[in-house]
């Protein structure tokens, strides 16, 4: 049965203050809030009930949710860049941008146009591009999800999933589904979320600036030849590649408009040896070795520990609010220890 406005609802179900704060930052109708991102994604798939979902590599947890839904509905996966003709009416394109663990970005409008031309829907996972950096609705997203555990929470002390839409009818249906299926945030987590959203834009823009400065330092060092500079020599001896949205020079015509607030606080480093990738996180002082991200503290992860599909020499870096020069010096010192044995 559908919910009636006269039905009594507890504050933990409605989470009105948290939804109002998110709404004011994303310029949309109020979202539905869930305990984590997994219930948020499963709620979207239950809502759309597609026959096919077009998805890239991205976050391995999303693929886990899809595999469970597929057991119930027969949902089939398509490649993110599959021919448009493979999409059918009511299907879903799940676009994660910036994408985990690389921190690179996709053109939201291009995928929205592709989906809509076939009668499909675009669901954007904007976890790595929270309000303050990008607004997927401006570029054609039908629904937006976040792992609010990350940047919306921002302090590594709460779990949260957000599912947002500008369609009021859809929102009412999502609220109705949540009332009966559960996955409601607790009051404490809701309070923590309200606290966090009050500083969201300030945090993520500073974190993005720090990440971009670090990426530029590493990228410039890799391009420099015969400098004799100690830091540059260390980077060249240990780092194979650095990956981040700010380095997508050929895409800047659309990317600078899509992400006007910054290119994101997450980037990846691919080292020259797996041994170095395993050791470096244990040699740093400012960066903590952890699999989460989005907090005010900087984190680094040897990603192969939690995702077997990525390059075993890859490190995912989530930049915090520390001064970027301190982070730079910490990275260089850590890389030097990798050379020392």
Q: Examine residue 229 and state whether it is found in any structural domain, yes or no.
A: yes
Statement to judge: residues 188 and 222 lie in one domain: no
**Are 159 and 208 contained in the same domain?**
no
Closest CA to 111 of 132, 91, 128, 131: 91
Point out the domain boundary residue: 170, 198, 226: 198
pLDDT of residue 28 exceeding 50, the answer is no
The pTM of this model reads: 0.91
Domain that holds residue 169: 11-198
Q: Judge whether 120 lies within some domain.
A: yes
Q: Examine residue 102 and state whether it is found in any structural domain, yes or no.
A: yes
Q: Are residues 55 and 147 in the same domain?
A: yes
Task: Please indicate, yes or no, whether residues 190 and 162 belong to a single structural domain of this protein.
Answer: yes
**Does any domain span residue 3?**
no
Is the separation of the CB atoms in 267 and 214 below 8 Å?
yes
Look at residue 251 and tell me if it is in a domain: yes
What whole-number distance in Å separates Cα of residue 330 and Cα of residue 262? 23
Q: What is the pLDDT of residue 14?
A: 39
The CATH number covering residue 147 comes to: 3.40.640.10
Q: Are residues 28 and 91 in the same domain?
A: yes
Average pLDDT over residues 125-135: 96
Provide the β-strand partners of residue 96: 125
CA distance 203 to 199: 6
Same domain for 219 and 316, yes or no, is yes
Last residue of a domain, one of 198, 222, 246: 198
SS3 of 108-146: HHHHHHHHHHCCCEEEEECCCCCCCCCCHHHHCCCEEEE
Answer yes or no: is pLDDT of 125 > 80: yes
Where helices occur in the chain by DSSP H, the ranges are 11-14, 16-26, 37-48, 60-73, 108-117, 168-181, 187-197, 200-223, 230-238, 252-258, 274-279, 324-339
Q: Are residues 261 and 155 in the same domain?
A: no
In whole angstroms, what is the distance from residue 339 CA to residue 276 CA?
8
Residue owning tokens 């798939």: 45
Domain membership of residue 4 (yes or no) is no
Average pLDDT along the chain: 91
Q: Is 194 exposed, middle or buried (0-12, 13-18, 19+ CB in 10 A)?
A: middle
206 and 194 fall within a common domain? no
- 68 and 95, same domain (yes or no): yes
Q: Count how many domains the chain has.
A: 2
Residue ending a domain, among 165, 198, 231, is: 198
- Out of 15-24, 175-184, 307-316, least confident range: 15-24
101: DSSP letter: T
Burial of 190 (0-12, 13-18, 19+ CB in 10 A): buried
pLDDT at residue 11 greater than cutoff 70: no
Contacts of 223 (CB under 8 A, 6+ apart): none
Residues 265/310, Cβ–Cβ less than 8 Å: no
1: in domain? no
Q: Which residue has the tokens 């709460």?
A: 158
**One domain, residues 190 and 303:** no
Confidence of residue 22 (pLDDT cuts 50, 70, 90): low
- Considering the domain boundaries, does residue 6 fall inside one? no
CATH at 221:
3.90.1150.10
Q: Give yes or no: residues 229 and 328 share one domain.
A: yes
């Amino acid at each position: 049965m559908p919910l009636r406005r006269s039905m009594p609802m507890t504050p933990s179900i409605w989470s009105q203050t948290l939804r109002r704060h998110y709404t004011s930052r994303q310029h949309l109708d109020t979202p539905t809030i869930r305990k984590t991102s997994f219930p948020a994604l499963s709620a979207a798939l239950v809502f759309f009930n597609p026959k096919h979902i077009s998805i890239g590599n991205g976050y391995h947890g999303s693929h886990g949710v899809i595999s469970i839904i597929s057991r119930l509905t027969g949902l089939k996966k398509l490649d993110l860049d599959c021919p448009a003709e493979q999409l059918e009416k009511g299907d879903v394109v799940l676009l994660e941008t910036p994408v985990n663990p690389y921190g690179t970005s996709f053109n939201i409008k291009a995928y929205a146009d592709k989906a809509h031309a076939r009668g499909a829907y675009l669901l954007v996972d904007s976890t790595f591009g929270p309000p303050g950096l990008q607004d997927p609705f401006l570029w054609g997203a039908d629904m937006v999800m976040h792992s609010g555990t990350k940047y919306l929470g921002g302090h590594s002390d709460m779990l949260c999933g957000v599912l947002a839409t500008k369609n009021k009818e859809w929102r009412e249906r999502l609220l109705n589904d949540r009332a009966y299926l559960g996955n409601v945030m607790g009051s404490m987590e809701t309070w923590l979320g309200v606290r966090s959203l009050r500083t969201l834009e300030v945090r993520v823009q500073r974190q993005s600036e720090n990440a971009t400065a670090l990426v530029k330092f590493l990228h410039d060092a890799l391009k420099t030849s015969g400098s004799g500079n100690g830091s540059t020599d260390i980077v060249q001896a240990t780092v194979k590649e650095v990956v981040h949205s700010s380095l997508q020079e050929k895409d800047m015509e659309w990317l600078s408009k899509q992400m006007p607030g910054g290119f994101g606080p997450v980037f990846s480093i691919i080292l020259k040896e797996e041994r170095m990738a395993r050791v470096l996180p244990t040699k740093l002082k400012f960066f903590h070795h952890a699999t989460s991200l989005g907090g005010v503290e900087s984190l680094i992860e040897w990603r192969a520990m939690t995702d077997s599909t990525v390059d075993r020499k890859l490190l995912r870096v989530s930049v915090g609010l520390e001064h970027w020069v301190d982070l730079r010096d910490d990275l260089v010192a850590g890389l030097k220890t990798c050379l020392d044995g």
